[in-house]
C-alpha cells in the first residue's frame, strides 16, 4: 500500500516488478496525466479514495471507476483538548466577550488564507470584536504576516505557528473556517465538528461532503472575503444557531466519521484485494 498515484509512482512500479498487489491511498483531489492514469489501470489493484470528490477526479483523469472505492477518513472521537479555551484566549490577550474565528493547516497557496485575512478586515469595525487564530506553518507565513499588517488587522490576527495540539486551539474558537480551493477530506473539519464548532467552508471537494449546509455549518458558493464575512456575521448574531450547528456536527463525527468505522472500511478493502 502506498500514497497518491501522482506522488509515489515508484511504489506502483515496484509492485509491478515484484508481481505484488498494490493499493493506493488517494488523499487529495488531483488530476493524473494519461501516463499515470494508464499505470494505475494496469498495475494498481485498488485505489482507496478519502472522498467521492477525490474518486470522481481520478475517474475524470482516466482511472477506471471499478478500481476506486471511497473510504471516508475518521478520527478518534475520544480526543480531548489539552489546554482550556480561556487559557489560550488569555495568552493572546483576547478580551472576554470577543468572537474568535480561525483555521488550521499548512500555510500554502492552496489554503487561500489571504481570503480569511480580508474577511477579518471587513469585520474589524463590528461592535463585537472579532479575532482570528491561524494555526500552522509554511512558505506563505511571511507574506501572510505582511498582508495582515497591510490590512491593519495585525492586532486581531494571531499566527501561532505549527502546533501538535491544534485541537486545543480549535476548541478556543467560536467558529472554524476553511478557505481551501480543494481538499481530499480535511481532518481539521472533523476535529472542529468534534469540538462542537460550526464550520464555514467553500463548497469544494472535501468540505462539501462533510459539512451539511445550514445544519453543521455553512457552505459558501461565493469564494470571496465578502461571503466569509457574511457567514461570520450571521452566526455571531445567532447564539442558538451556533449551539445547534455545533451539536449536530459533533454527533455527525461521532456516528459517521469515527476511527473504528474508517478502520473497518480499510480492512474490507484489504480483505477484498487479498481474497
The stretch 144-148 carries a mean pLDDT of: 97
pLDDT at residue 19, as a whole number: 85
201 pLDDT higher than 60 = yes
Mean pLDDT lowest for which of 27-41, 96-110, 157-171, 216-230?
27-41
pLDDT at residue 43, as a whole number: 92
**Strands, E, within 74-194: which ranges?**
99-104, 130-135, 157-161, 175-178
Other beta carbons less than 10 A from residue 52's beta carbon: 15
pLDDT at residue 116, as a whole number: 98
**Strands, E, within the chain: which ranges?**
23-26, 46-49, 68-70, 99-104, 130-135, 157-161, 175-178, 199-202, 217-220
The stretch 188-213 carries a mean pLDDT of: 96
> What is the share, in percent, of the chain residues with pLDDT greater than 90?
84
pLDDT at residue 231, as a whole number: 97
Q: How far is CA 134 from CA 99, 137, 156, 174, 206, in A?
A: 14, 9, 11, 14, 20
Residues in contact with 95: Cβ distance below 8 Å, sequence separation at least 6, in sequence order? 129
**Domain spans in the chain, listed from the N-terminal domain onward:** 9-74+258-274, 85-256
Residue predicted with more confidence, 25 or 4: 25
2 pLDDT higher than 90 = no
Report the predicted TM-score, pTM, of the whole model to 2 decimal places. Answer: 0.91
Cβ atoms of residues 44 and 70 within 8 Å:
no
Name which of 67, 62, 75 is nearest 48 in CA terms.
67
Mean of the per-residue pLDDT values of the chain: 94
The residues facing 69 across adjacent strands are 48
Cβ atoms of residues 180 and 188 within 8 Å:
no
At the topology level, CATH places domain 85-256 in Rossmann fold (3.40.50)
**For 5-21, what is each residue's pLDDT tens digit?**
555 777 888 888 888 89
pLDDT at residue 254, as a whole number: 97
pLDDT at residue 182, as a whole number: 86
Give residue 76's pLDDT band: very low, low, confident or very high (50, 70, 90). Answer: very high
**Strands, E, within 57-174: which ranges?**
68-70, 99-104, 130-135, 157-161
100 pLDDT higher than 80 = yes
94 pLDDT higher than 80 = yes
166 pLDDT higher than 60 = yes
CA dihedral (237, 239, 242, 247) in degrees, to 10, reads -170
Residues in contact with 217: Cβ distance below 8 Å, sequence separation at least 6, in sequence order? 176, 193, 198, 199, 200, 201, 211, 245, 249
Give residue 172's pLDDT band: very low, low, confident or very high (50, 70, 90). Answer: very high
What is the grid cell recorded at 21? 498487489
225 pLDDT higher than 70 = yes
CA dihedral (6, 262, 206, 100) in degrees, to 10, reads -120
The stretch 95-106 carries a mean pLDDT of: 96
The stretch 148-165 carries a mean pLDDT of: 96
Kindly calculate the radius of gyration of the chain based on its CA atoms and give it in whole angstroms. Answer: 20
Q: How far is CA 99 from CA 77, 94, 124, 206, 214, in A?
A: 26, 9, 11, 26, 20
pLDDT at residue 11, as a whole number: 80
pLDDT at residue 6, as a whole number: 58
Amino acid at each position: 500500500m502506498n500514497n497518491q498515484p501522482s506522488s509515489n509512482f515508484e511504489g506502483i512500479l515496484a509492485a509491478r516488478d515484484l508481481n505484488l498487489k498494490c493499493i493506493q491511498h488517494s488523499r487529495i483531489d488531483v488530476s493524473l496525466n494519461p501516463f499515470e492514469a494508464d499505470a494505475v489501470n494496469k498495475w494498481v489493484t485498488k485505489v482507496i479514495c478519502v472522498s467521492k470528490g477525490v474518486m470522481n477526479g481520478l475517474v475524470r483523469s482516466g482511472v477506471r471507476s471499478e478500481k476506486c472505492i471511497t473510504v471516508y477518513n475518521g478520527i478518534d472521537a475520544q480526543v480531548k483538548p489539552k489546554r482550556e479555551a480561556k487559557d489560550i484566549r488569555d495568552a493572546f490577550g483576547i478580551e472576554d466577550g470577543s468572537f474568535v474565528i480561525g483555521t488550521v493547516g499548512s500555510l500554502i497557496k492552496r489554503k487561500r488564507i489571504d481570503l480569511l485575512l480580508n474577511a477579518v478586515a471587513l469585520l474589524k469595525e463590528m461592535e463585537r470584536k472579532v479575532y482570528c487564530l491561524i494555526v500552522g506553518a509554511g512558505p506563505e507565513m511571511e507574506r501572510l504576516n505582511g498582508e495582515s499588517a497591510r490590512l491593519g488587522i495585525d492586532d486581531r490576527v494571531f499566527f501561532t505557528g505549527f502546533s501538535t495540539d491544534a485541537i486545543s486551539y480549535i476548541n478556543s474558537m467560536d467558529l472554524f473556517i476553511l478557505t481551501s480551493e480543494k481538499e481530499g477530506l480535511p481532518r481539521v473539519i472533523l476535529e472542529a465538528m468534534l469540538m462542537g464548532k460550526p464550520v464555514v467552508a467553500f463548497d469544494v471537494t472535501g468540505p462539501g461532503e462533510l459539512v451539511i449546509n445550514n445544519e453543521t455549518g455553512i457552505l459558501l458558493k461565493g469564494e470571496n472575503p465578502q461571503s466569509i464575512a457574511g457567514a461570520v456575521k450571521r452566526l455571531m448574531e445567532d447564539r442558538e444557531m451556533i449551539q445547534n450547528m455545533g451539536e449536530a456536527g459533533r454527533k455527525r463525527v461521532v456516528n459517521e466519521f469515527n476511527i473504528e468505522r474508517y478502520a473497518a472500511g480499510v480492512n474490507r478493502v484489504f480483505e477484498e484485494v487479498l481474497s
